[in-house]
Structure 1
Amino acid sequence: MPAKFYCPTLWIFSALAALWAVGCESPAPRDAKALAFQAPQHWSSNGHFAEPAVTGWLQAFNDTGLTELVNAGLIDNFDLKSAAARVDAAREQAVIAGSGRWPQLSLAQGYQRAKTNAGGESSEYGAFTALFNLSWELDVWGRIKAGQQAAETDAEAAGDDFHAAQLSLAARIAQAYFEFSEAQLQAAVAAQSIKDRGVIADLVRGRFNKGLTRGLDLRLVLTDLANAEAQLAQARNDVQLIGRRLQALLGRYPDNQLRQSGSNQLDPALSLPQPPPSLTAGLPAELLERRPDVIAAFKRLRAADSRLESAEKALLPRVTLTGAGGASSAALTEIIDPRAAAWNLAAGLAQPLFTGGRLQGEIRFNEAKVQEAFNQYQSVALNAFREVEQALAAEAWLRTQEQALREAVQQTEASRKLAVYSYRQGLIEILTLLDSYRSTLNAQSAHLAVQRQLLNNRINLYLALGGGV
């Protein structure tokens, strides 16, 4: 059987054609709704399925002080300014990544002075030079374009991160504002309790001086009064701690002097507002298009796909154009004469043959990064669903708890008044009276706490749903 001979040139072009076919394949388009877990059709804790989700939540509280503080924080907060700078840096990184698609031209100017010895005679000469270099990689397969696309998508994700940072900052300022209001109310409740207990202490002291009660009763009353004063000190310390934290969120020096623009002092809230009664959460599928952190995670997955595409196309030949030229003359005026210029242009085709596994390693590296970005997206999406479901369920339970504690406050206040009357009549012991005061203070404090938790949970729900402030 005669031996068959293959043309090396034909084999090379066949291999390059195969590489070209592989290199021109684009990654499969991604679907943001293609999740690794089953997303529900409706929220399990919400009955308003057909209504669109809320888009702006700040005005719903109808609190001008809160609105002004949030708007000020969105302008002056330093962490948010850092996030804005990261967006600018990511956009410029995309410009850098795409610069390789354009010709690179440089010009070098100089002066040379040299001395030579020939035949025992020496001579010196000088020359002015003006040289340019040109290089341009023709992005035939789209390798550089894929890298640029990855950087641009990362820049878009950074913009979504900035939007998420805005929402998070607005939520933290609002929650700190409500915590500050609660702390002030807690201090006011503790101060009123001390005033009421002071009346009882005077009563018991007067009865003790008349020999109508034991010294133990007076000791117990004074001990209870001292404990109440300690609670007031703790409440006032909470006020200054939360106030300084709120100032730091606003980008202000924490001097514990909260002020609104156009006023000397932030007026303390006389009561915590009720959460807005109506709330629509929309459909779960809408969350993937509303939450900026979910959107950013998906864009980073697409950026990872583009980087993998660029790494795979690095196996293909690179077509480059190079050029060099310039002029050299002893007279400075002559180097600008076009007749004195010399130049050359060249086109080349470079095919990687052996790189010690670098190119294959970069492909496997980017494949792993794609898997990392995919699973990160799934994790962020799943966490977003959890936060919404958790906040929806918590609101119902917190409302039930708030109603129960409101009833407890009314009952303890009535029992305290009855206990004072009964003690004056000698019908109960001092411990029962002191217990009534402690129960009243604890019920009032717990009621304020759950009111603030209800407001915080509503803000958490707004934040979980995404959208605007």
Structure 2
Amino acid sequence: MVAAIALALAGCAVGPDYVRPSMDVPASYKENGPWKQAEPKQIDSNHNWWQVYGDSTLDALVQQANQANQNIAQAEAQYREARAAADAARSGFWPTAGIDAGVGRSLSTSNGIRLGNNYSAGVQGSWEPDVWGSVRRAVEAGDASTQASIASLAAARLSIQATLTQDYLQLRITDLLIDLYARTTTAYARSLKLTQSQYAVGVALRSDVALAESQLKTAEAQAIDLQAQRSQLEHAIAILTGKAPSQFTLTALPADSQMLAKMQANLPPIPSGLPSDLLERRPDISTAERNVAVANANIGVAKAAYFPALTLSASGGFNASSLAQWFDTPSRVWSLGAALAETIFDGGLRRAHTAQAVAVYDAAVAQYKQTVLGGFQEVEDNLATLNVLDRETVAQSQAVKASQLAEQLALSQYRAGTATYLAVVTAQTLSLSNERTLVQLLGRQLIASVALIKAVGGGWDASQLNTADVAQAKNNSTAN
């Protein structure tokens, strides 16, 4: 036994030791443009990143989603499943032991007919030392799988938080558009009244009245369509927070002419960091990398099947024909044994299992590298988008001011009789279009800023993979 234990402790685990696949990581991002106005504190795991938008309603909604979203609950259950599987693999290090007791009555015809009872009780145990490292590789795979599940839970949580934040911000942009159309239809109604008054005194044409009425009804129809968009966004937010749409209502913001400027001011200047940071700060990349570690360990498990298995066993107890003699010294029985077993022919089964494990590893490496490249693309895309939208917003703001001035001048000239109502309609339509585009640009900036926060990991860090129990994972689900 001592010799076998020494052999097990000194044995080397077969199969390759894990090394993270190498990646050609660029030194900097291509699209890291001048849109960043400041370098605020780096988002980290202790920071609720959505708070940078300064909206208490959004904060409350994200907390509800952290606690009630079913996708997060599913990922948390999958983490517990992976941890239980890792514990099951770890049990292979230990011997198994059992007890038994029995009573029976039997008829024997050898040496005459004998009818009698038999009483037995005993303990038995067996142990298969991990000589070739099969259990160690299985435990390695189980631990890596558990860490992959932790990262998947973080990725699910980040995805829900980002989707909810984007839907909420888009809903608030829709509220701004609804307010814009409310103010616009009020102005169009005044213009209709003006044309009707001038038509009544004979200084305007009937076509001017029809044109003004058409313009008003078109704007009203567009405002109604915005309500449909808002309802859909509200329904999506309800589902993300774990509620049925009929049980959820999000009150519209009060009309405020400064709301656009306030939301513009809340655009966060997000530091994107270095490309190499992405390997540690994106949970989906960490999930892919841990899956590579799982596949690598499974190669060792497959290769260990080529070597003989050593099993040590022991048993002891009592066996007697009567209760009075059950535990007497003559009734004691025991046994010790060791068995060495090796498969000499399996029709290529072990070779096929090893080839399969190597193929799974190669596929996991390819998936990891593709995930890293996809992460780089997401960051570059959103950096480029924010850079372009920043310049576009400046130009669009100037266009809004110019169109508003043109609208005022056209109305003044129409009142004075020096311009047709067609010129007024053209100016008003251009003004509405420019204002709507400016609001939509803000929405695109907000959505892209959320996407960039998600693309750089939302403050998550791979050091959190060392979380030891599910309670910590649950705390992360609700706290972050």
TM-score of the superposed pair, with normalisation by structure 1? 0.85
Superposition deviation, residue 23 in structure 1: 6.7
Contact 1:181–1:269 (8 Å) recurs in 2:
no
* Counterpart residue number, 2:444: 453
* Counterpart residue number, 1:14: none
Superposition deviation, residue 253 in structure 1: 2.6
Q: Distance in 1 between matches of 2:324 and 2:175?
A: 82
Please give the per-residue CA displacement for 1:245-297, whole angstroms capped at 9, x wherever unaligned. Answer: 112111223237446xxxxx675685224344643222211221221111221
Correspondent of 1:58 among 36, 50, 54: 50
Correspondent of 1:203 among 175, 194, 198: 194
Superposition deviation, residue 378 in structure 1: 0.5
Query: Is 2:379 the partner of 1:393?
Result: no
Q: Distance in 1 between matches of 2:264 and 2:323?
A: 81
Superposition deviation, residue 147 in structure 1: 1.1
The aligned amino acid for 1:311 is A
* Counterpart residue number, 1:94: 86
Matches within 5 A, 1:348-387: 348-387=339-378
Query: Is 2:60 the partner of 1:68?
Result: yes
* Counterpart residue number, 1:287: 278
The aligned amino acid for 2:150 is G
Correspondent of 1:314 among 285, 305, 308: 305
Pick closer, same or farther for the CA change 1:120–1:312 going to 2, 3 Å.
closer
Q: Distance in 1 between matches of 2:255 and 2:153?
A: 31
Please give the per-residue CA displacement for 1:395-443, whole angstroms capped at 9, x wherever unaligned. Answer: 1101011112222222222222222222222333333322222222222
Contact 1:154–1:300 (8 Å) recurs in 2:
yes
Contact 2:179–2:255 (8 Å) recurs in 1:
no
Pick closer, same or farther for the CA change 1:91–1:24 going to 2, 3 Å.
closer
TM-score of the superposed pair, with normalisation by structure 2? 0.83
* Counterpart residue number, 1:46: 32
Superposition deviation, residue 93 in structure 1: 0.7
Correspondent of 2:296 among 300, 305, 314: 305
Q: Distance in 2 between matches of 1:277 and 1:393?
A: 16
Q: Distance in 1 between matches of 2:388 and 2:421?
A: 37
Q: Distance in 2 between matches of 1:368 and 1:294?
A: 20
Contact 2:267–2:446 (8 Å) recurs in 1:
no
The aligned amino acid for 2:439 is L
* Counterpart residue number, 1:427: 418
Query: Is 2:137 the partner of 1:151?
Result: no
Contact 1:243–1:256 (8 Å) recurs in 2:
no
Query: Is 2:363 the partner of 1:343?
Result: no
Correspondent of 1:27 among 10, 16, 20: 16
The aligned amino acid for 1:436 is A
Pick closer, same or farther for the CA change 1:431–1:47 going to 2, 3 Å.
closer
SS for the counterpart of 1:138 is coil
Q: Distance in 2 between matches of 1:350 and 1:362?
A: 19
Question: Share of identical aligned residues, percent?
Answer: 26
Q: Distance in 2 between matches of 1:60 and 1:142?
A: 50
Q: Distance in 2 between matches of 1:106 and 1:269?
A: 75
Unpaired runs of 5+ in structure 2?
1-6, 461-479
Query: Is 2:441 the partner of 1:441?
Result: no
The aligned amino acid for 2:149 is A
Correspondent of 2:234 among 228, 243, 265: 243
The aligned amino acid for 1:162 is L
Q: Distance in 2 between matches of 1:352 and 1:76?
A: 52
* Counterpart residue number, 2:469: none
Q: Distance in 1 between matches of 2:344 and 2:273?
A: 55
Q: Distance in 1 between matches of 2:128 and 2:245?
A: 56
Superposition deviation, residue 127 in structure 1: 4.1
Contact 2:11–2:132 (8 Å) recurs in 1:
no
Superposition deviation, residue 316 in structure 1: 0.7
Q: Distance in 2 between matches of 1:111 and 1:457?
A: 75
Q: Distance in 2 between matches of 1:166 and 1:140?
A: 41
Pick closer, same or farther for the CA change 1:115–1:391 going to 2, 3 Å.
same
Most deviating of 317-326 and 145-154 = 317-326
Superposition deviation, residue 140 in structure 1: 0.6
Query: Is 2:404 the partner of 1:413?
Result: yes
Superposition deviation, residue 325 in structure 1: 4.9
Superposition deviation, residue 59 in structure 1: 3.3
Superposition deviation, residue 323 in structure 1: 3.7
Most deviating of 445-454 and 359-368 = 445-454
Contact 2:13–2:300 (8 Å) recurs in 1:
no
Matches within 5 A, 1:259-278: 270=256, 271=259, 272-276=263-267, 278=269
Contact 1:23–1:312 (8 Å) recurs in 2:
no
Contact 1:101–1:138 (8 Å) recurs in 2:
yes
Q: Distance in 1 between matches of 2:356 and 2:246?
A: 50
Contact 2:11–2:131 (8 Å) recurs in 1:
no
Superposition deviation, residue 66 in structure 1: 2.2
Superposition deviation, residue 328 in structure 1: 4.6
Superposition deviation, residue 218 in structure 1: 2.5
* Counterpart residue number, 2:464: none
Pick closer, same or farther for the CA change 1:205–1:115 going to 2, 3 Å.
farther
Correspondent of 1:219 among 190, 206, 210: 210
Pick closer, same or farther for the CA change 1:389–1:317 going to 2, 3 Å.
same
Pick closer, same or farther for the CA change 1:45–1:247 going to 2, 3 Å.
same
Pick closer, same or farther for the CA change 1:333–1:216 going to 2, 3 Å.
farther
Q: Distance in 2 between matches of 1:438 and 1:331?
A: 106
Higher relative contact order (CA 8 A, sep 6+): 2
Q: Distance in 1 between matches of 2:98 and 2:214?
A: 86
Pick closer, same or farther for the CA change 1:437–1:138 going to 2, 3 Å.
same
SS for the counterpart of 2:29 is coil
Query: Is 2:149 the partner of 1:163?
Result: no
Contact 1:61–1:276 (8 Å) recurs in 2:
yes
The aligned amino acid for 2:293 is R
SS for the counterpart of 1:352 is coil
Pick closer, same or farther for the CA change 1:314–1:222 going to 2, 3 Å.
same
Superposition deviation, residue 337 in structure 1: 5.9
Q: Distance in 2 between matches of 1:182 and 1:299?
A: 40
